[in-house]
């Protein structure tokens, strides 16, 4: 079960942010923002070695005392970030990977919505609902 999920646009501006405990949102935003550095670094170095068959899932970006931050980048440089509690050992890499895939697919669905302007922050309620659904792991 993740505690926080974020979708970040290709210019690194936030598109969507949610966390289970709204009071901690600001703190999570700081953490997610600083994890972008790692993503960028990984993207830069990743492109050098592997050409285009890039793995979207970046794995753990870094771990903090209480949380672990995982990243996933779409081919259009949309970044997905999930923060999980480090005490939670039940989540394995595969589960996180599938969580990202679900997130990616609902994001793609949302972009298909003609009323959504790409690159705008996502405010759709149903999107929010389904993301919450995914991160709470039901």
Partner 1 sequence: MRSSVSYILSTTTSEPNMSHPDYEQFSHDHAALLILVKQIGSCLKTKTFNKFYERISKVNTVKITDSTGQVRNILIRYIKEHPVENNDWGDFQTHRRLLGLISLGRYDSQQELNEICRVHESLKVKYTSTLFDSRCILFGVNDEREYPSDNSSPEEESSSSSKLSVDEPVSEPKESDSKPRDKFTTPTNFKARAIFYNEADPCTDLENQLNEFINSLFWVLESKRLERSREKIERVSLLLAPFEKKDFVGLDMDSRNNKKRCNGRMTKHLGDLYLQAGLLSESLGYYHSAVETLKSVNDWLWLGAAYEGLCAASALVWYPNIQRNVSLHRNASLPEGSPKRSNSISTPMENTKRDIINMLPPDEISKRYREAIIHYSKYQNAGIIETEASFKAARISVEQNHSLQAASFLQNVVFINLTLSEQEKIQRFETLSDLYMEIGFIRKAAFCQRLAATRHVSPQNPTPNWNKCYSLILQSFPGHKISLDPTEMSTIHSPCGWPSLQIQLLQELVVASKRMGHSALATRHMTFLLQTMWQHLSSSEQKEFAIQLQSLSSQCEGAPVPLVLDTGIVIPPANLSNVPICSGFNLRSLQPHLQPRKIETFKRDLGPFLFTPIKFGTLERSSSKPQSKMDFLWVENDVCEVTLKLVNPLPFELKVSNMRLLTSGVVFESIPETVVLPSDTPTSLTLNGTPKESGELEIQGYSTHTLGVKSNCRLRCMPNFLPCYSIEVIPVLPTMEIKTSLPQSATFSSFQNFENVVTSASISLYNGESTECTITLTNNSHVPIEMLEVSIQSVLELSLQDQIFKWSQENLESQLPLMPNGTASLTLYLYSAANFLAAGYGPNELSSGVFGSSHGSSLMSMSAGPSSLPSRLNSPIYSAMGSSFHGTRRNELNSSFRSSNSGQSSMTTTGYRSPGALILPQHAASTVVEGQLQLRYSGGAGLRAGYCRSSSIFITLEMLPSLQVTNWDVLPAETSSQFYLVLDIANMTSQEMELYYTPTKHMLIEGHESCRVPVPVNRCPLSKLTKLYMDQNSGMNNRLDLDKICSDHIANLVDLRWQLLSLNTRGKATLKGITLTPNMLDIVRMSPLNWEVSVNGDFLKPQEEINCDAGDCLSVRISICNSLEKPLQHLILSIQFYQDHRNGTHNYRLETRVVIIGCAKKILPVLEPQSKAWHACNVLFLTPGQYKMDIQCSTSDALSTNQPILGPCGHSWRYIPAVDVNVHI
In a 13 Å sphere around the CA of 54, the CA atoms on its Cβ side amount to: 21
| Binding region for partner 1 (CB under 8 A) out of 7-15, 78-86, 94-102, 103-111 | 7-15
| Binding region for partner 1 (CB under 8 A) out of 28-36, 93-101, 107-115, 122-130 | 28-36
Q: By CB under 8 A, is residue 11 in contact with partner 1?
A: yes
Q: By CB under 8 A, is residue 29 in contact with partner 1?
A: yes
Helix (H) or strand (E) holding 137: none
Q: Cα 97–102–107 angle (5° rounding)? A: 125
Residue 65 CA to residue 27 CA, distance in Å, equals: 13
The footprint of partner 1 (CB under 8 A) covers: 9, 11-14, 25-26, 29-30, 33-34, 36-38, 40-42, 45, 62-65, 119
């Amino acid at each position: 079960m993740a505690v926080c999920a974020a979708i970040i646009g290709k210019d690194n501006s936030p598109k969507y942010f949610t966390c289970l405990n709204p009071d901690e949102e600001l703190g999570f935003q700081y953490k997610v923002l600083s994890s972008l550095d790692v993503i960028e670094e990984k993207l830069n170095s990743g492109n050098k070695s592997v050409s285009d068959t890039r793995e979207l899932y970046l794995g753990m970006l870094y771990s903090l005392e209480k949380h672990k931050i995982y990243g996933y980048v779409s081919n259009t440089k949309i970044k997905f970030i999930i923060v999980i509690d480090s005490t939670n050992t039940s989540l394995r890499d595969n589960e996180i990977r599938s969580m990202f895939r679900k997130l990616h697919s609902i994001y793609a669905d949302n972009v298909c919505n003609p009323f959504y302007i790409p690159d705008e922050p996502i405010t759709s309620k149903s999107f929010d609902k389904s993301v919450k659904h995914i991160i709470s792991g039901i």
